[in-house]
Amino acid sequence: MDSRTFFIFLAIVVVLGFYFIGNEMFDFPLLISKTFFRMLAAYVLSLIFSLSLGLIMSQNKKLFVVLFPILDVLQSVPILGFLPFAVLFIIHSFPVVGAEIATIFLIFTSMTWAILFNVIEGMRSIPSDLRDASKLNGISGFNYLFHVVLPALYAPVISGSITGWGGGWYFLVAGEYISFGKDPPYVLEGVGSYIAQHTYSGDLIHFFIALSILALMVLFMNLFFWRPLLSRVSRYLYSAPAVSSVDYNKLIRFFDSLYARFRAFCLKHLLFLDRVLLFMNISPFSHATPDQKPLIPYDLFLIIGVLLSIFLVFSVSGKPISILYELPISLILTFLRMGLAFLIASIWTLTVAVLIGRNKRILDLLMPIFDVCQSLPAIAIFPIIFVFVIKLLGVQVGIQVASVLLLLTGMQWYLLFNLIRAVSSIPQEFFEVSSVLSLSFWARTRNLILPALIPAFIIGSIQAFGGGWNATIVSEYISSGTSTYYTDGIGYRLVVSAVNGDVSGIILAILVMVLAIIIINNLIWKKALAKAELYKL
């Protein structure tokens, strides 16, 4: 899609909007600006948080071992899990601006993890020979940061940012329309709350106009922001030629000037910066690799702490003892649905990445579509889709199929964007060698492309399961008009507790989910991350 096509779509939406809803279209510029600046504030916070913490973790093995399971837990906690903190602490502590801060915080919790985990993967992808060369030449501190680390992080941060913004759009409705307990919801003016209000009232005309506006916002970001930044990814690949063709538009020149000013500022304060980097342990001599042991004492203590917390909350909540075996059963049912959704997502995203990952023309056509699809707020659109699934398959089968489909929407994009970036980053000379050797498509895929995708697939899988845990809140409890459909699962338990303002119910559901995440992290992801080290290019 080019700018001309975008403005044609914009004109069509505006004309249809005035035709169907009249002068209400004049409200959208204000709604769009408020939503955009909330998203931008959340993104800036996410970028600062992710770069700072990701750099420190990647250079300190002990810190990596301690923080990685905690971060994996936090990225997997659904947005409703943060509602008690957002409502009971932020909104009540800051009566005037509390709702705005709470909304930015909730969007931050759905945006930051994609960037953070990509920063970690980007740091781990720095070639060992480049680290060794930096050691031999005494490159450290400021020079190591600007000439080795930041170039390595460019592609991961951009792809993580695209996915992070998608996560922010995905849960925008829950961020601007905060419903907790029996009190009236906290509604902030914005596109997300506009969609929520007209979805819950059954006003499909206003809903589709607002959804079209949101889609145009996503396309605008993709066309005028992400695409120019992606166009220069090849400049920061270690195998890239010295000169690469880059579209130097005004945005690129603006960011280049900002980067130059930032670098000049750092040079003026070089001594202080070097001390900070020394404190952060940013040097070629430091490199954290994941522990290959399946279960370490720290995590055992963490598991014991979660179990004790479950029994403590249970003992003071006055809930029936049956909840102690109902919650694990709900967790297993949720995990089975997530496993099926992950399998489907893995098959189609790997296929797409292998077939079109290096075809720039097709990628330019499909990336805006993928970006819009990953950004559509499932909380708003899925009740409408669900009605059709129910009519086609019946309630009993339909709710299960619909649940898996919605989990798929929360998982697949993390895999897809990481895999496409990984395929695009494979050095061109590798493909030239495979052509010289006359390798068949299947041989090249098996021996070159798939091994190169393993690190990105592992990181994408971790993020996908985090997105899956988040999506449980909308996949297991679906309201459509006056009807409510649900299927047993940990997400259903969490939503019911949030609707009723049951803080102890929310905490118990989150703790059971956290326990599962910690165990999965130790039994699967830590070993997988260690294995992925063998496939770095």
**Tens digits of residue pLDDT in 493-531:** 888 887 777 878 888 888 898 888 888 888 888 788 778
Q: Which region among 150-159, 243-252, 365-374, 475-484 has the lowest average model confidence (pLDDT)?
A: 243-252
- Residue 263 and residue 270: Cα distance in Å, rounded? 10
Q: Please, which pLDDT band fits residue 393 given cuts at 50, 70 and 90?
A: confident
- Residue 28 and residue 350: Cα distance in Å, rounded? 39
Q: Which region among 245-254, 272-281, 452-461 has the lowest average model confidence (pLDDT)?
A: 245-254
Q: Please, which pLDDT band fits residue 29 given cuts at 50, 70 and 90?
A: very high
Distance of CA 264 to the CA centre of its chain: 32
Helix (H) or strand (E) holding 177: strand 177-178
The neighbour count for residue 189, using CB atoms within 10 Å, is: 14
What percent of the chain stands above pLDDT 70? Answer: 85
Q: Please, which pLDDT band fits residue 242 given cuts at 50, 70 and 90?
A: very low
The per-residue pLDDT for 406 is 84
- Residue 116 and residue 48: Cα distance in Å, rounded? 10
Structure tokens at 313: 């909350």
Q: Which region among 82-91, 442-451, 469-478 has the lowest average model confidence (pLDDT)?
A: 82-91
The yes-or-no verdict on residue 244 having pLDDT over 50 is no
Q: Which region among 96-100, 192-196, 288-292 has the lowest average model confidence (pLDDT)?
A: 288-292
3 state SS of 277: helix
The per-residue pLDDT for 44 is 93
Q: Please, which pLDDT band fits residue 475 given cuts at 50, 70 and 90?
A: confident
Contact indicator for 199, 191 with CB cutoff of 8 Å: no
The yes-or-no verdict on residue 321 having pLDDT over 50 is yes
pLDDT, average across residues 257-279: 74
- Residue 521 and residue 302: Cα distance in Å, rounded? 12
The yes-or-no verdict on residue 344 having pLDDT over 60 is yes
- Residue 15 and residue 25: Cα distance in Å, rounded? 10
The neighbour count for residue 246, using CB atoms within 10 Å, is: 13
What does the pLDDT look like over 32-46, one tens digit per residue? 999 999 999 999 999
Q: Which region among 143-147, 274-278, 421-425 has the lowest average model confidence (pLDDT)?
A: 274-278
- Residue 410 and residue 469: Cα distance in Å, rounded? 9
> Tokens 């080019």 belong to which residue?
2
User: Residue 200, class by beta-carbon neighbours within 10 Å (0-12 exposed, 13-18 middle, 19+ buried)?
Assistant: middle
Q: Which region among 47-51, 203-207, 209-213 has the lowest average model confidence (pLDDT)?
A: 203-207
The per-residue pLDDT for 381 is 64
**3 state SS for 346-394:** HHHHHHHHHHHCCCHHHHHHHHHHHHHHHHCCHHHHHHHHHHHHHHHHC
More confident residue, 272 or 24: 24
Q: Which region among 184-193, 214-223, 347-356, 528-537 has the lowest average model confidence (pLDDT)?
A: 528-537
Contact indicator for 84, 313 with CB cutoff of 8 Å: no
Contact indicator for 168, 42 with CB cutoff of 8 Å: yes
- Residue 533 and residue 537: Cα distance in Å, rounded? 9
The yes-or-no verdict on residue 294 having pLDDT over 50 is no
Structure tokens at 506: 């929310």
Q: Please, which pLDDT band fits residue 48 given cuts at 50, 70 and 90?
A: very high
* Interacting residues of 148 by C-beta distance below 8 A, sequence separation 6+: 126, 130, 131, 134, 139, 284
| First vs last C-alpha separation in the chain | 32
> For the chain, what percentages of helix, strand and coil (3-state, to nearest 5) are there?
80, 0, 15
pLDDT, average across residues 65-84: 74
Helix (H) or strand (E) holding 187: strand 186-187
The yes-or-no verdict on residue 379 having pLDDT over 80 is no
AA letter at 237: L
The per-residue pLDDT for 214 is 87
**Size of the chain in residues:** 537
Question: What domains does the chain contain, in order, with CATH numbers?
Answer: 3-238+247-535 (1.10.3720.10)
Contact indicator for 491, 473 with CB cutoff of 8 Å: yes
The per-residue pLDDT for 246 is 47
The yes-or-no verdict on residue 343 having pLDDT over 90 is yes
DSSP result, 454-501: HHHHHHHHHHHHHHHHHHHHHHSEEEETTEEEE--SHHHHHHHHHHTT
Strands 186-187 and 477-480: unpaired
Helix axes 150-170, 360-375, angle to 10 degrees: 40
The per-residue pLDDT for 510 is 86
**Where are the alpha helices (H) located in 225-322, listed in sequence order?**
227-230, 250-268, 270-280, 297-317
Q: Please, which pLDDT band fits residue 295 given cuts at 50, 70 and 90?
A: very low
Half-sphere exposure of 93 (CA within 13 A, CB side): 9
User: Residue 7, class by beta-carbon neighbours within 10 Å (0-12 exposed, 13-18 middle, 19+ buried)?
Assistant: exposed
The yes-or-no verdict on residue 182 having pLDDT over 50 is no
What does the pLDDT look like over 112-152, one tens digit per residue? 888 998 888 788 777 777 777 877 777 777 777 777 888 88
pLDDT, average across residues 43-57: 89
Structure tokens at 387: 């009605």
